[in-house]
Structure 1
Amino acid sequence: MREAVERRLDALVREHRFEIAIVFPAVGAVLLLASAWNRLPASVSFDPYLILFGTLVMRLPLVAGLAPLVDRKAGVALLALTAYAFGIELLGVTTGWPYGEFTYLVELGPMLFGKVPAGLPVFFFPLVLNSYLLCVLLLGPRADRTRLRLPVVAAVVLWMDVVLDPAAVALGFWQYDAGGAYYGVPLSNYLGWVLSAVVAVALLDWGFDRADIRERLASCEFLLDDLVSFVVLWGVVNLAYGQLAPALAAAALGVALRRTDRFDFDVASVEPLRR
């Protein structure tokens, strides 16, 4: 039963790579910007279920790619990471620690206890998983060195939030009560993300077998397509607001993706090809 579901999901993603990795985030960026700029009817502006649905679609490559690797140990790691994500977010919203005082202004799907999105793992997991997968590819054999692997992955997680948080603040997803020097984001947010990145990366590193990840990366060409979606969505939003630093940070992630030599989006045929 599980294998049949995995095969169908795998086929679905392979058949619709371009739509999932490029079209969906591009359309999503336009809809989010239209909502923020009051260009949509109130009934659909920042619709929480539409936001959650779009996010879930963009997550499909990551889900399909990693599903065969989720054994009991990996499942425990993901459950622990889920508990951590909800715990640290609730702590942050209610106390301001460790990210700084902030408030959600837009409902990103159903809200747990009326404070944090119930779909939080859908938003949080990809930051860590994509960073881990990208670093395993880029580091090659050097990824076997724990003292190098873990801090590099944590640094990439932090880099992704350098892209994400300014765009989310600009859209009005959330707001830091005291503002911040980096496009409305305070330094405390990134200090908090150092903690979150280290904990999350350590959990995933314990839960997943690195040899299995390498093998899956070699056989599954779409495994990092979710990171492509991230670059497109948040790169476009940051550019729309003239936020050059986070837009360039998104572009740097795009360059890193190209260096993995796994993506060749042929503009003429509008079809993602595997080298």
Structure 2
Amino acid sequence: MGSEDGGDGSIAASTTTAHRPARAELQTRLDDLIRDNRFTVAVVFPVVGAVLLVGSAEGVLPPPLTFDPLLILLGTLVMRSPLLVGVAPLIDRRAALGVVGLAGYAYTVEFVGLRTGVPYGDFHYAIDLGPTVAGVPIGLPVFFLPLVCNAYLLCLLLLGPRAGAARVRLPAVVGTVVAMDLVLDPGAAALGFWTYPGGGPVYGVPLSNFAGWILSATVTVLVLDAVLDRAALRSRLDACEFALDDLVSFVLLWGAINVYFGNWGAAAVGGLFGLGLLYTDRFDVPAPIRWP
């Protein structure tokens, strides 16, 4: 019997081999889906999202639509989809374990922060962001981890060969993540997503919040550095033109919100990310109508 079926090892090997084409075919389909809908995902969704969020904050939307948590989570997932599809080929078992560990870290540090004010400062959620576990939204990893991934990818492109040196790469990515929070937190606070009872010097956001982001960004970047193959990631990034479309969405969504509320400094930092995307030739979402 062993000589006929090749033994258990041969069966396992053939099963593994069979899975690879299936995964490659699925990846090709997902790549095509994102490419065919880039404008909708990277431009329409954040623009509509900004209108709905500002309308909710201003009380002009009917109650079913006002800060609807399902719409917020769904819209975020759609805007995250280019990044998720872009890095999907690089997610092996080791990388998956790293992401699960980071999700656990995000929940833990948020849980501690809500109860102690450490490390982000005293804050609490002011609107419903969907189902929670011990007061922490279950969608938290969807909101947080992609921000660090976007910063990581952008720095790989901007730094070029210098990204190979950890002493250059790591502080650059952490600094970029904190800069992203300089865009995100003032806009989110203006919308009323969360509040800081003690206020703060950065559009009502305390400096402790940014110190907390330095800590969380450092932890996240160190884990990503350990579980991702940077050479393969850079190769995929070169071949995948839409991998940073989530950052395009970020610039449009939070840039528009900060401009509306007059957070001009935060909007200017968002504009710098737009320049970075232009410099790396990534702000190239195609027009929705292609003329012959």
TM-score between the two structures when normalised by the length of structure 1: 0.95
- Paired residue for 2:133? 112
Aligned with 1:215 (options 220, 228, 235): 235
Structure 2 residues not aligned, in runs of 5+: 1-21
Change over 3 Å in CA distance of 1:271–1:217 after alignment to 2: farther
1:185 aligns with 2:198: no
SS in structure 2 of the partner of residue 249 of structure 1: helix
Q: Which amino acid aligns with 1:221?
A: E
- Paired residue for 1:163? 183
- Paired residue for 2:168? 148
Q: In 2, are the aligned partners of 1:18 and 1:271 still within 8 Å (CA)? A: no
Equivalent residues in 2 for 1:96-107 (5 A)? Answer: 96-107=117-128
SS in structure 1 of the partner of residue 195 of structure 2: strand
Aligned-partner Cα distance in 2 for 1:262–1:27: 21
- Paired residue for 1:233? 253
1:86 aligns with 2:85: no
- Paired residue for 2:283? 263
Aligned-partner Cα distance in 2 for 1:3–1:109: 34
- Paired residue for 1:61? 82
Aligned-partner Cα distance in 1 for 2:52–2:235: 37
- Paired residue for 1:204? 224
Aligned-partner Cα distance in 2 for 1:271–1:17: 12
Equivalent residues in 2 for 1:19-98 (5 A)? Answer: 19-98=40-119
Shift of 1:271: 6.4
1:135 aligns with 2:160: no
Q: Output one character per residue of 1:132-176: Cα deviation in whole Å (capped at 9) or x when no partner.
A: 000000100000001000000000000000000000000000001
Aligned with 1:195 (options 196, 206, 215): 215
Aligned-partner Cα distance in 2 for 1:105–1:33: 15
Q: Which amino acid aligns with 2:51?
A: V
Q: In 2, are the aligned partners of 1:166 and 1:185 still within 8 Å (CA)? A: yes
Question: Identity of paired residues, percent?
Answer: 55
SS in structure 2 of the partner of residue 264 of structure 1: coil
Q: In 1, are the aligned partners of 2:38 and 2:285 still within 8 Å (CA)? A: no
**Number of residue-to-residue matches in the alignment:** 269
Aligned-partner Cα distance in 2 for 1:82–1:189: 19
Q: Output one character per residue of 1:232-262: Cα deviation in whole Å (capped at 9) or x when no partner.
A: 0000000000110000000000001111023
Please identify, of 257-266 and 28-37, the stretch whose mean Cα deviation from structure 2 is larger: 257-266
1:2 aligns with 2:23: yes
Q: In 1, are the aligned partners of 2:42 and 2:285 still within 8 Å (CA)? A: no
Aligned-partner Cα distance in 2 for 1:119–1:56: 10
Aligned-partner Cα distance in 1 for 2:74–2:30: 16
Larger radius of gyration: 2
Shift of 1:15: 0.3
Shift of 1:48: 0.5
- Paired residue for 2:13? none
Aligned-partner Cα distance in 1 for 2:94–2:226: 8
Aligned-partner Cα distance in 1 for 2:285–2:217: 30
SS in structure 1 of the partner of residue 243 of structure 2: coil
1:252 aligns with 2:246: no
Q: In 2, are the aligned partners of 1:265 and 1:271 still within 8 Å (CA)? A: no
Q: Which amino acid aligns with 1:166?
A: P
Shift of 1:10: 1.4
